[in-house]
C-alpha cells in the first residue's frame, strides 16, 4: 500500500479485552484510504494473536520486542507513517464509523488547521459527553489550565513532526506537553469538531494513585511554563492557586479563601494585558468559566459563596449569572450546618 491519505496509529499493551472492538471500529470506517499501524508494545497477553487474526492489507503490524512505553511507541509509529495525516487511536476505545471521513473533510475545508480533535462520549455512560472549546484561540487559552484536545480523538498533519515529537520525560502527560509546545508556534492552529467521534472507556476500578500523583506533578510543570510566559515568577503558592482552577481533583478548597482565589484570576488577567500572550476576550471568558467552576465546587461549604460569585468581576452582568448564583446557593443549602 503506497501513499494513503491517513495513517491511523494505535499502540497496544495487554489490550486483549477490548482489542477486537477497537480494531473493527477502524477497519469499518466509511473512509477507506488509510493504513493502520498497530504497534504491539511488548504485550504479555494474547494481543498479538488477536491482531494477527485480521487479514486486511491496510494493517501494518509492528511488534516491539520489549515494552517501550507509549511515548517511544507513538514516535516510532509516526516515523513509519506514510499518510499526509495521522489519526490517533487507543486499543480500548471505539471510533464511530464516520470519524476519519469527518476529520479529513474538516481539515480539507480548514487548511489553516494543523490538528483537530472532537467531543467524546463515555462508553459506559452514553448520556455523558465530554465537550471542549472548538476555536483555536479558546483552545490555546484553555491549555493554560489543562489539556483540551482528547488524545485518542486527534487528527493532525504529519508534517508537524518534522520539528516536534512526544517527550519521554512527560510520560503520562505527553499529549498536554505536546499541545502546549505546539501552541507557542503562531503558524500552528488547533480546532475541535463539536461532534462525538469516539467512545471512550474509563477504568475507575484500577488503582492509579501513584500514576495520578506523577500526572499532577508533570501537568504543573507544563502550567509553570505557561505562567512564566505571562511574566510570573512562579512559586509553590502561585502554582497551588492556579492548580485549584485547573483540576477538579484538588479537594483542599476553602470558601473563606475565595478572595485569594479571585485575586489570582485578577493577576492572570493583568499579566496578560502586559504580556499579550492570549486574546483578551477569550481569556476573560475562560476565567469566568474557571470562577464558576470553583465556586460551584466550594458551594457546599457556605451559602455566601453564591454572593461572592455573583458580585465578582468574573461573573458576567447577565441573567445567566443570576441563574448560576441561584444554583450555587441551592447547592450550598444542601449542607447541614
Each residue's pLDDT tens digit, 61-70:
999 999 999 9
Q: Minimal CA–CA distance to 87: which of 54, 118, 128?
A: 118
Which residues pair with residue 85 across a beta bridge? Answer: 6, 157
Domain assignment present for 140: yes
Q: E-assigned strands of the chain?
A: 6-12, 34-41, 59-64, 85-88, 94-95, 115-122, 125-130, 155-157, 190-200
Structural domain including 122 reads: 6-200
Whether 208 has a pLDDT exceeding 80, the answer reads no
Query: Which of 152, 184, 200 delimits the end of a domain?
Result: 200
Mean pLDDT of the chain: 92
Inter-residue contact 119 to 196 (CB < 8 Å): yes
What tens digit of pLDDT does each residue of 318-329 get?
A: 766 676 777 777
Whether 241 has a pLDDT exceeding 60, the answer reads yes
Alpha carbons 278 and 267: distance in angstroms, whole number: 14
- CA atoms within 13 A of residue 277's CA, in its CB half-sphere: 23
Domain assignment present for 211: no
More confident site: 299 or 316: 299
Domain assignment present for 175: yes
Domain assignment present for 189: yes
Tally the domains of the chain.
2
C-alpha distance from residue 318 to each of 213, 310, 323, 328 (Å): 39, 10, 9, 16
* 259, 180: one domain: no
More confident site: 263 or 312: 263
pLDDT band at 336 (very low <50, low <70, confident <90, very high): very low
In the numeric block, which cell numbers belong to residue 24? 473493527
Alpha carbons 255 and 334: distance in angstroms, whole number: 15
* 113, 74: one domain: yes
Alpha carbons 106 and 154: distance in angstroms, whole number: 12
Domain assignment present for 215: no
Query: Which of 153, 181, 200 delimits the end of a domain?
Result: 200
Q: How many CB atoms lie within 10 A of CB 228?
A: 11
What φ, ψ does residue 182 adopt, rounded to 5°? -65, -35
Query: Which of 200, 220, 239 delimits the end of a domain?
Result: 200
Domain assignment present for 214: no
Domain assignment present for 102: yes
Segment 196-200 mean pLDDT: 98
* 27, 143: one domain: yes
Segment 220-235 mean pLDDT: 96
pLDDT of residue 206: 60
What tens digit of pLDDT does each residue of 80-114 get?
A: 999 999 999 999 999 999 999 999 999 999 999 99
**CATH (domain of 135):** 3.90.550.10
In the numeric block, which cell numbers belong to residue 162? 518534522
Domain assignment present for 216: no
In the numeric block, which cell numbers belong to residue 271? 499579566
Inter-residue contact 260 to 112 (CB < 8 Å): no
Instruction: Tell me 232's DSSP state.
Output: -
Q: Minimal CA–CA distance to 120: which of 173, 195, 179?
A: 195
* 45, 145: one domain: yes
* 190, 258: one domain: no
* 70, 140: one domain: yes
Q: What is the pTM of this model?
A: 0.93
316: Cβ contacts below 8 Å, ≥ 6 apart? 288
Whether 197 has a pLDDT exceeding 50, the answer reads yes
* 163, 255: one domain: no
* 184, 269: one domain: no
Whether 188 has a pLDDT exceeding 90, the answer reads yes
Alpha carbons 240 and 301: distance in angstroms, whole number: 20
Alpha carbons 267 and 251: distance in angstroms, whole number: 23
* 296, 171: one domain: no
Q: Minimal CA–CA distance to 8: which of 104, 129, 113, 147?
A: 104
What tens digit of pLDDT does each residue of 23-43 get?
A: 999 999 999 999 999 999 999
Segment 59-80 mean pLDDT: 97
What tens digit of pLDDT does each residue of 243-297 get?
A: 999 987 665 777 788 899 999 999 999 999 999 999 999 999 999 999 988 988 8
Provide the angle, in degrees to the nearest 10, between the axes of the packed helices 258-275 and 236-246. 100
Inter-residue contact 237 to 224 (CB < 8 Å): no
* 196, 284: one domain: no
* 182, 265: one domain: no
* 186, 273: one domain: no
The angle at the Cα of 248, spanning 296 to 298, to the nearest 5 degrees, equals 30
Amino acid at each position: 500500500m503506497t501513499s494513503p491519505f491517513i495513517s491511523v496509529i494505535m499502540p497496544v499493551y495487554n489490550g486483549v479485552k477490548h482489542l477486537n472492538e477497537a480494531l473493527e471500529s477502524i477497519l469499518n470506517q466509511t473512509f477507506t484510504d488509510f493504513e493502520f499501524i498497530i504497534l504491539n508494545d511488548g504485550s504479555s497477553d494474547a494481543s498479538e494473536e488477536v491482531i494477527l487474526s485480521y487479514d486486511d492489507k491496510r494493517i501494518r503490524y509492528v511488534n516491539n520486542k520489549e515494552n517501550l512505553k507509549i511515548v517511544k511507541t507513538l514516535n516510532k509509529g509516526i516515523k513509519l507513517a506514510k499518510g499526509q495525516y495521522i489519526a490517533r487511536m487507543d486499543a480500548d476505545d471505539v471510533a464511530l464509523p464516520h470519524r476519519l471521513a469527518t476529520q479529513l473533510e474538516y481539515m480539507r475545508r480548514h487548511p489553516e488547521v494543523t490538528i483537530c480533535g472532537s467531543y467524546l462520549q463515555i462508553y459506559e455512560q452514553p448520556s455523558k459527553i465530554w465537550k471542549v472549546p472548538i476555536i483555536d484561540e479558546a483552545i490555546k487559552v484553555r491549555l493554560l489550565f489543562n489539556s483540551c484536545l482528547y488524545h485518542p480523538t486527534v487528527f493532525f498533519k504529519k508534517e508537524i513532526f518534522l520539528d516536534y515529537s512526544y517527550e519521554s520525560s512527560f510520560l503520562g502527560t505527553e499529549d498536554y506537553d505536546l499541545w502546549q509546545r505546539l501552541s507557542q508556534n503562531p503558524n500552528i492552529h488547533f480546532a475541535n469538531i463539536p461532534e462525538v467521534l469516539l467512545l471512550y472507556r474509563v477504568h475507575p476500578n484500577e488503582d492509579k494513585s501513584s500514576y495520578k500523583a506523577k500526572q499532577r506533578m508533570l501537568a504543573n510543570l507544563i502550567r509553570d511554563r505557561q505562567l512564566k510566559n505571562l511574566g510570573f515568577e512562579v512559586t509553590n503558592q502561585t502554582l497551588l492557586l492556579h492548580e485549584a482552577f485547573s483540576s477538579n481533583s484538588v479537594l483542599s478548597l476553602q470558601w473563606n479563601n475565595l478572595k485569594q482565589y479571585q485575586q489570582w484570576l485578577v493577576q492572570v488577567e493583568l499579566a496578560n494585558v502586559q504580556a499579550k500572550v492570549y486574546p483578551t476576550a477569550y481569556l476573560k471568558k475562560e476565567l469566568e468559566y474557571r470562577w464558576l467552576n470553583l465556586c460551584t465546587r466550594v458551594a457546599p461549604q457556605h451559602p455566601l459563596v453564591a454572593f461572592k460569585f455573583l458580585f465578582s468581576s468574573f461573573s458576567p452582568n447577565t441573567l445567566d449569572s443570576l441563574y448560576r448564583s441561584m444554583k450555587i446557593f441551592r447547592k450550598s443549602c444542601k449542607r447541614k450546618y
